Amino acid sequence: MTKSNLTRRGMLKTGAVAGAGLAMPTIFTGASWAGSHTGFTNAPQGSTVTLGFNVPQSGPYADEGADELRAYELAVEHLNGGGDGGMIPTFSSKTLDGTGILGKKVEYVTGDTQTKSDAARASARSMIEKDGAIMITGGSSSGVAVAVQALCQEAGVIFMAGLTHSNDTTGKDRKANGFRHFFNSYMSGAALAPILADAYGTDRKAYHLTADYNWGYTTEQAVRESTEAMGWETVNTVLTPLTQTDFSSYIAPVLQSGADVLVLNHYGGNMVNSLTNAVQFGLREATANGKQFEIVVPLYSRLMARGAGENVKGIFGSTNWHWSLQDEGSQAFTRSFGTKYGFPPSQAAHTCYVQTLLYADAVNRAGSFNPCAVVEALEDFEFDGLGNGKTLYRGADHQCFKDVLVVKGKENPDGPYDLLEIVEVTPVEQVTYAPDHPNFGGAEASLGSCNPGA
């Protein structure tokens, strides 16, 4: 008889306690936004100014976070007059001259969001309170962006969002101190639908698999509404758990549902796995309703596309930016980033780099680090030369409006970074919506007023 204290129930109990411990959020206690008091939080005192780069350095999006951090380091180098200046010479606003921001040398601190809202808030809070960061930027998830944006609003610092695609970031959860350069679910749907109708016809039946969280819902809604407006029918929408790794049991019934298009509202590891599974199950060779079966991935990322390997070939999706763009700004950035790191930048790197430059320029134009002055300088600011053509930072919701790229997995890639090809650059007019659009919180959604903090 083996001696043992272990019982089944005991084991389950221990497991449950261990699980609860792992899932326990960092608990925040009372706020004390003590900065240097000159009318706003963390007013720079000496000859330097500190920016806080809050990116996933661990967890599932660590590689994306690493690319964001590379972009931030490059931006700081360029702001301080190092390197080839990247997009500073191509930027339509000319206040950046390599002497930092308002003459102060730019320094930075980094935090690890772990792609968890509580961890991201804790690291942002620490950078604001301990390191005196005047602005927080970065991230690779909408959950994190919304959480950190609310914290920055409360703390009285500016938040320049990184990669966040959910409508809510500049929709129902918009904040006066927060700004998003990245595009959103609605724009993806609006840009994709006409291309899909062109390529696959207007008589299609779509089946949606959707990641069961905020970003998934807004993306499904956007693609569903815009494709239905083109004449498509939505056969079914199924929510999949965020922790799912094998999607076979969700994918297998698709062909029996009468659908002839599968839309994968998944990102990151979810996307890699669901797409791989769909291809394994022969969906790309299948015919349904007398048509070739097709798969669509609304939000593409090159870093994720690599994980899916061969399976992305020929599949449509949208992206905020791609290094193969031929405009002056994109080329300057790709050259600068590629020379320093040896490979082209991702869309996450691009949006983070641009956000840093936009912030620095806004401070210069405002002549002050005061968040309220910066907000004023960024609102309804029109610019060009940063890789997306003419862009407007709309004052009503702090969302950037610019052209959207519809891309396709490349059939014959030249090397490991050449995975996507641009199918169309959808003009900004086609993806613009009213600030009180029902998908963005409707008439109730409000920025509130800017908070300078201390």
Partner 1 sequence: MDAIILQILNGLDKGSAYALIALGLTLIFGTLGVVNFAHGALFMIGAFCAVTLQKILSLSHQVVDESRKDFLGNPLKVDVPYIYEWFGETTGQAIIDWSVPLAILFSIPIMVLVGFAMERGLIKHFYKRPHADQILVTFGLAIVLQEIIKYFYGANPIPTPAPDAFTGSFDFGVLLGFDPFTIIYPYWRLIYFAFAMIVIAGVFAFLQFTTFGMVVRAGMADRETVGLLGINIDRRFTIMFAIAACVAGLAGVMYTPINSPNYHMGMDFLVLSFVVVVVGGMGSLPGAVLAGFLLGVLESFASMAAVIDIIPGINQIIIYLVAIVILLTRPRGLMGRRGVMEE
DSSP 8-state assignment for residue 312: G
Site stretch for partner 1 (CB under 8 A), options 125-133, 188-196, 233-241, 358-366: 233-241
**Cβ(124)–Cβ(136) below 8 Å:** yes
Please, which residue, 278 or 358, has the CB nearer to partner 1?
278
Residues 38-77 that bind partner 1 (CB under 8 A): 58-63
Contacting residues for 405 by C-beta, under 8 A, at least 6 apart = 191, 318, 319, 320, 321, 322, 325, 422, 424, 425, 426
Q: What is d(CA 391, CA 326) in angstroms, rounded to the nearest whole number? A: 17
DSSP 8-state assignment for residue 26: P
Q: What is d(CA 161, CA 220) in angstroms, rounded to the nearest whole number? A: 22
Q: What is d(CA 304, CA 316) in angstroms, rounded to the nearest whole number? A: 14
Among the listed residues 269, 395, 413, 427, the single contact to partner 1 using CB under 8 A: 269
Site stretch for partner 1 (CB under 8 A), options 68-76, 120-128, 242-250, 402-410: 242-250
Q: What is d(CA 185, CA 346) in angstroms, rounded to the nearest whole number? A: 19
Under rule CB under 8 A, how many of the chain's residues touch partner 1? 70
Q: What is d(CA 152, CA 187) in angstroms, rounded to the nearest whole number? A: 26
Site stretch for partner 1 (CB under 8 A), options 45-53, 241-249, 398-406, 431-439: 241-249
**Cβ(207)–Cβ(241) below 8 Å:** no
Scan for tokens 């690319």, then name that residue. Answer: 67
- Could you tell me the smallest distance in angstroms from the CB atom of residue 324 to partner 1? 7
- 288 counts as binding partner 1 under rule CB under 8 A: yes
Q: What is d(CA 163, CA 186) in angstroms, rounded to the nearest whole number? A: 15
Among the listed residues 6, 23, 24, 443, the single contact to partner 1 using CB under 8 A: 6
Please, which residue, 38 or 58, has the CB nearer to partner 1?
58
- Could you tell me the smallest distance in angstroms from the CB atom of residue 304 to partner 1? 7
Residues 8-27 that bind partner 1 (CB under 8 A): 8-12, 14-15, 18-19
Among the listed residues 158, 261, 303, 366, the single contact to partner 1 using CB under 8 A: 303
Amino acid at 141: S
Site stretch for partner 1 (CB under 8 A), options 6-14, 105-113, 363-371, 375-383: 6-14
DSSP 8-state assignment for residue 402: -
Please, which residue, 41 or 276, has the CB nearer to partner 1?
276
Please, which residue, 178 or 216, has the CB nearer to partner 1?
216
Please, which residue, 6 or 443, has the CB nearer to partner 1?
6
Q: What is d(CA 232, CA 193) in angstroms, rounded to the nearest whole number? A: 10
**Cβ(323)–Cβ(71) below 8 Å:** no
What count of other Cβ atoms lies within 10 Å of the Cβ of residue 411? 8
The bridge status of strand 404-409 relative to strand 316-319 is antiparallel
- 285 counts as binding partner 1 under rule CB under 8 A: yes
Please, which residue, 255 or 362, has the CB nearer to partner 1?
255
- Could you tell me the smallest distance in angstroms from the CB atom of residue 432 to partner 1? 31
Please, which residue, 62 or 199, has the CB nearer to partner 1?
62
Phi/psi at 405 (5° precision): -95, 125
Please, which residue, 31 or 252, has the CB nearer to partner 1?
252
Among the listed residues 31, 34, 229, 252, the single contact to partner 1 using CB under 8 A: 252
- Taking CA atoms, 332 is separated from 90, 108, 324, in Å, by 8, 23, 11
- 2 counts as binding partner 1 under rule CB under 8 A: yes
**Cβ(420)–Cβ(300) below 8 Å:** yes
Among the listed residues 20, 32, 310, 443, the single contact to partner 1 using CB under 8 A: 310
- Could you tell me the smallest distance in angstroms from the CB atom of residue 177 to partner 1? 30
- 89 counts as binding partner 1 under rule CB under 8 A: no
Phi/psi at 315 (5° precision): -95, 130
- Could you tell me the smallest distance in angstroms from the CB atom of residue 12 to partner 1? 6
DSSP 115-152: T-HHHHHHHHHHHHHTS--SEEEE-S-HHHHHHHHHHH
- 414 counts as binding partner 1 under rule CB under 8 A: yes
Residues 314-373 that bind partner 1 (CB under 8 A): 323-324, 334-335, 338-339, 343-344
Site stretch for partner 1 (CB under 8 A), options 160-168, 213-221, 269-277, 441-449: 269-277
- Taking CA atoms, 360 is separated from 73, 98, 255, 440, in Å, by 14, 11, 51, 28
- 304 counts as binding partner 1 under rule CB under 8 A: yes
Residues within the interface to partner 1 (CB under 8 A): 1-12, 14-15, 18-19, 58-63, 236, 238-241, 243, 245-246, 248-250, 252-253, 255-257, 269, 272-273, 276-277, 280-282, 285-288, 303-304, 306-311, 323-324, 334-335, 338-339, 343-344, 414-415, 417-418
